[in-house]
Structure 1
């Protein structure tokens, strides 16, 4: 086959209708997720005590962490497209059902707790599956650009989701907000159904050996451990997230309170972070490929760690916003490169399980540092805690630089 014949299949991701359908579905689903969480928070606070509301909100995170690794097994067994469609369909039906229940009665916290448990379980299936889809819908040379587009989509969802959820609550209460979230999940379904997936290289039409879910999970973990790039990459992700999420969540609120910046200050710092992360996604979307991706990934994590530590020593809000832009730019670029390298290095047959492991560290293990971060800031102040967290994050970058295979990893 000639280069001319191959050209149509190598069209840029931002011009590929198949990728755009996936991106539209992802944007709708992620925006619905933002609206749902705002609706759940508001409904829980209105229905019980602050402690009870906190328990309801924690149920999703606990369920998601418990099931995340097996979510990757499900994605690899049944195919990520099928799992994503099923997940959004279940979320749509359940959330619309709770919206109707709230509109017709006052069920109390039990309904919200049940919704949180179901949503957490479905999230554990959805997240590995949505991360495993890009290699099946785009050529490997376009996966970097796809990750950049996904990052931009997420930032758009963050910007739209909170105002949309707040407007829905103001107009019709939690029932209206849950209804809006359900409609957004419904909007993603026809786009997902229209996706065209490329077969895996290992798809030969032969029946597969029947195995248990636990054996599949063990096989996936063994694959990661033996892979010369993915094994070190998972360690880098775990260390960087562990040092990153505490300061940028709990620590930021405590730092803002100590500096006298107030809630508006938190908003400005987070806006700076979002601007930087969005700019990084835009760069990757436009360029499509970053040379020396493994080296750049490790250096951006190390430099981002320095910026995280510096945030605790900046007394003025404008300077803190500027530092947060740098953090967002470096973290956004390193996160996109992590995703792109994972998808290009991994055998697609294992991608659901590999994605579930990295997501487990990001959304399961790392948030467990929140209570520790809050207690440490209360005891010693923000400066030493931010510095210690930055050191953990920097350790991830330095480890990446020390591993030859990861340091020399390239995007197609």
Structure 2
């Protein structure tokens, strides 16, 4: 309760929270509108997979360097620059769609630009909290920020779905895509507003002169070497990366196809994503109420959650009604939300602050950078096999991966981070 009260009185946290919520809400509009726009322009699942891969490859590569750049120049300055870039790119994208002149090539180029910007904004955004709030409040701040972001994952898709239903989603041709154009315009406005709120944040510590002198390539190598030298970090990051590359890539292709082939268009996709967001929010609320209650420890709990998610993915390919998919994704979201705060806090409190940008860059490379790398393969598979086989394969892979990680890796030994500042690496990750 004391931590919560202190956070409410902290102007840094207030500005970060308000800007983060606004920006995250706008992101949900683009996350749905962009793949749907590509699908309407091409009508080809392989093209959708290729687009996701084209967006993901540069982000996957540059996000590692993005973390080093953040450590060198500060999270705030990097994040501010990316917000201005995204505002401009989304304004152009909205204008193309609203004017009815959108074609695949300019959309692809703008999408790549957004992806490149995210390679720097993701590590900057995930590194910002420890620079803006007191160390003893970090866990509470993470929980509040993630809960609010998950709330936007519920509200954003629902609002986007309403916008698509009223304005058109391009199903009847690009002349009927006003809703998609307005979605990009909404996201553009949220980036502009969140840039202003970020300008009000005052970092607790100024950038250290010595770290500015470190070359970016050397900084990246140092971050990767740090992960590799820690058996627990190495095992966790390799496991998460493999699952993201296989399961994440399948979901990025399969969910839009499910909405397109069996349900009711972009609005159905928005409802599916909204259900997942609602589940994640409920899972975070449950985590907050239950505290650090685990099945043995953090590692065993993570692997058990992954196994249950794998089971829930098996029947996704049998979905023929929107409510069926929403129930499954709601349950998947609850499981994922339950462990998200603990994972972020574990990483943030187990590394020195001077290396936090690089570590979060590597973490986000694993979670968000690798999934698009397999998207082209997932799109190719989707053109050969049924949705049922695609979802079932992803579920079985996650089940087997969790079992093998429990049997043969140190994943099962991970424990929760302690609340409070950690000046160096904690023994629990070594």
Quickly name the TM-score band, shorter chain normalised.
0.7 to 0.9
User: Is the CA contact 2:157–2:273 (under 8 Å) kept in the aligned structure 1?
Assistant: no
Alignment CA distance shift 1:237-1:336 (3 Å): farther
- Distance in structure 1 (CA, Å) of the matches to 2:326 and 2:371: 24
Moved more, 123-132 or 349-358: 349-358
Question: In the aligned structure 1, how far is the partner of 2:225 from the partner of 2:160?
Answer: 42
* Aligned partner (choices 191, 216, 233) of residue 213 of structure 1: 216
Say which SS state the counterpart of residue 204 (structure 2) adopts: coil
2:353 corresponding residue in structure 1: 348
Q: CA deviation at 1:343?
A: 0.7
> How far does residue 161 in structure 1 lie from its aligned partner after superposition?
2.9
Give 1:12-27 correspondences, 5 Å limit.
12-14=6-8, 16-27=10-21
Q: How far, CA to CA, are the matches of 1:285 and 1:17 in structure 2?
A: 23
How many angstroms does 1:226 deviate by? 2.5
Does structure 1 residue 299 correspond to structure 2 residue 301? yes
Select which of 271, 275, 279 maps to 1:276: 279
Give the superposition deviation at 1:144: 2.4
2:311 to 309, 312, 323: 309
| TM-score, scaled to structure 1 | 0.79
* Corresponding residue number in structure 2 for 1:185: 191
State the alpha-carbon separation in 2 of the partners of residues 167 and 152 from structure 1: 23
Deviation at 1:279, TM superposition (A): 1.3
Superposed displacement of residue 392, structure 1: 1.0
1:129 aligns with 2:138: no
Aligned to 1:407, the other structure's residue is in SS state coil
Counterpart for residue 386 of structure 1? 395
Distance in 1 (alpha carbons) for counterparts of 2:105 and 2:258: 35
Name the residue aligned to 2:156.
161
Match status 1:66 vs 2:61 = yes
- Residues 1:366 and 2:368 are matched in the alignment: no
Aligned-residue offset at 1:253:
7.7
CA contact (8 A) 2:66 2:123 kept: yes
Which stretch of the first structure deviates more once superposed, 98-107 or 386-395? Answer: 98-107
CA distance in 2, matches of 1:217, 1:21: 30
| Distance in 1 between residues matched to 2:378 and 2:87, nearest whole Å | 35
Task: Measure the CA separation in 2 of the matches of 1:94 and 1:368.
Answer: 23
Residue 3 of structure 1: aligned partner: none
The equivalences for 1:164-243 within 5 A come to 164-166=159-161, 170-171=166-167, 172-199=178-205, 206-208=209-211, 210-227=213-230, 229-242=232-245
Counterpart CA distance in 2 for 1:385 and 1:102 is 34
Q: CA deviation at 1:294?
A: 9.3
Q: Is 1:293–1:337's contact at 8 Å kept on the other side of the alignment?
A: no
CA drift of 1:347 comes to: 1.0
Question: How far is 1:112 from its partner?
Answer: 1.9
TM-score (norm 2): 0.76
Q: How does 1:308-327 map to 2 (within 5 A)?
A: 308-309=310-311, 311-312=313-314, 324-327=329-332
Residue aligning to 1:93: 88
- Say if 2:156 and 2:274, in contact at 8 Å, map to a contact too: no
What secondary structure does 2:385 align onto? Answer: helix
Which runs of no fewer than 5 residues in structure 1 stay unpaired? Answer: 1-6
Please report how far the alpha carbon of residue 351 of structure 1 lies from its aligned counterpart in structure 2 after TM superposition.
Answer: 1.2
- 1:96-155 Cα distance to aligned partner (Å, 9 max, x none): 244345556836444322211211110111011101111112223332222322332222
Measured in 2, the distance between the counterparts of 1:100 and 1:266 equals 23
Given the alignment, which residue of 50, 67, 84 partners 2:79?
84
Cα distance in 2 for residues equivalent to 1:126 and 1:33? 13
| Structure 2: gaps spanning 5 or more residues | 168-177, 421-430
Q: Does the C-alpha gap of structure 1 residues 268 and 363 become closer, same or farther in structure 2, counting only changes over 3 Å?
A: same
Q: Is 2:140 the counterpart of 1:148?
A: no
Which residue of structure 2 lines up, in the alignment, with residue 36 of structure 1?
A: 30
- Contact kept? 1:233, 1:338, Cα under 8 Å: no
